[in-house]
């Protein structure tokens, strides 16, 4: 799940002192001045009356209802279902950024993200789960560095298992050989050879991209993602 609900505790409304009107205080002062000394007078009679009385705070303005509603709306705006996430080796961050810009700017497939841009300070497993389940497609950047990184091997096996166990994630894992330092086909893990990979250096690359990243598929996965998040929210609030 991406995003954690935040709660706000509103400060208590300021207490308003109930003062007397200037006319009443003046009348009472004239009547009681002969029989009472200044030390015997109540403190509110000695105090200078305030020129105006603050308007009472409208009911519900500070009860947290409005703030909570705004918070929920802000969270909903921040929670975006991505078109794709690029899983890559640590040494391939620059290449992953180039591919991200290529897909977003040249083909209009946005928004996307690379794994290196996932929130810092969190466990890699949590980021991986959020990346895979919070996007319609998972792109595996197949380079020479990919197989050298044990974490990358875990990433692609986890992604494949997720696509098998969840019906709506079927065909959501996309291996891709980029222009720079691509992993040769003969050295590609067998589990990934069964999936047609995107070949950036091939003439049919634009056609492949259009055929894979279809808006209708994205809309279906986005709808399922929203339904799942709403169900979890209801369970938490119950």
Tell me: the pLDDT tens digits for 123-179?
A: 778 888 888 888 999 999 999 998 887 888 788 788 888 777 776 787 899 999 999
Q: How confident is the model at residue 62 (pLDDT cuts 50, 70, 90)?
A: very low
Give the distance, in angstroms, between the CA of residue 32 and the centroid of all CA atoms in the same chain: 67
HSE at residue 80, side-chain half, CA atoms within 13 A, is 10
Least confident segment among 10-24, 38-52, 106-120: 10-24
Per the listing, tokens 């893990």 go with 189
Q: How confident is the model at residue 237 (pLDDT cuts 50, 70, 90)?
A: confident
Q: Is 70 exceeded by the pLDDT of residue 192? A: yes
Q: How far apart are CA 48 and CA 63, in angstroms?
A: 32
For position 167, what pLDDT does the model report? 67
For position 173, what pLDDT does the model report? 92
Q: How far apart are CA 197 and CA 114, in angstroms?
A: 18
Give the pairing of strands 198-199 and 112-114.
Answer: unpaired
Task: Give the CA diameter of the chain.
Answer: 110
Long-range contacts of 149-152 (CB under 8 A, 24+ apart): 149/89, 149/90, 149/91, 151/90, 151/124, 152/87, 152/88, 152/89
Least confident segment among 15-19, 45-49, 159-163: 15-19
Question: Are 97 and 71 within 8 A, CB to CB?
Answer: no
CA dihedral 138, 140, 141, 146 (to 10 degrees): 150
Question: Are 182 and 143 within 8 A, CB to CB?
Answer: yes
Q: Is 70 exceeded by the pLDDT of residue 17? A: no
Q: Whole-prediction pTM value?
A: 0.65
The shares of helix, strand and coil residues in the chain, as percent rounded to the nearest 5, are 50, 10, 40
Residues 6+ apart with CB under 8 A from 147: 153, 183, 187, 189
Axis crossing angle, helix 124-133 with helix 150-165, rounded to the nearest 10: 40
């Amino acid at each position: 799940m991406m995003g954690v609900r935040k709660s706000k505790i509103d400060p208590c409304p300021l207490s308003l002192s109930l003062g007397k009107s200037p006319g009443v205080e003046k009348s009472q002062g004239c009547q009681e001045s002969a029989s009472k000394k200044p030390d015997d007078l109540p403190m509110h009679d000695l105090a200078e009356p305030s020129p105006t009385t603050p308007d009472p705070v409208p009911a519900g303005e500070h009860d947290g209802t409005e703030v909570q509603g705004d918070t929920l709306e802000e969270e909903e705006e921040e929670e975006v279902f991505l078109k794709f996430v690029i899983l890559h080796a640590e040494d391939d961050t620059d290449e992953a950024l180039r591919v991200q810009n290529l897909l977003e700017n040249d083909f209009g497939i946005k928004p996307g993200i690379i794994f290196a841009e996932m929130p810092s300070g969190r466990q890699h497993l949590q980021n991986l789960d959020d990346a895979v389940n919070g996007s319609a497609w998972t792109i595996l950047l197949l380079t020479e560095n990919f197989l050298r990184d044990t974490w990358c091997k875990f990433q692609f096996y986890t992604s494949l298992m997720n696509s098998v166990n969840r019906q709506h994630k079927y065909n959501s894992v996309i291996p891709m050989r980029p222009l720079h330092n691509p992993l040769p086909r003969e050295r590609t893990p067998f589990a990934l050879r069964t999936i047609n990979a995107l070949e950036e250096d091939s003439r049919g690359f634009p056609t492949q991209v259009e055929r894979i990243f279809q808006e209708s598929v994205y809309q279906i996965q986005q709808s399922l993602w929203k339904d799942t998040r709403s169900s979890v929210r209801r369970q938490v609030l119950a």
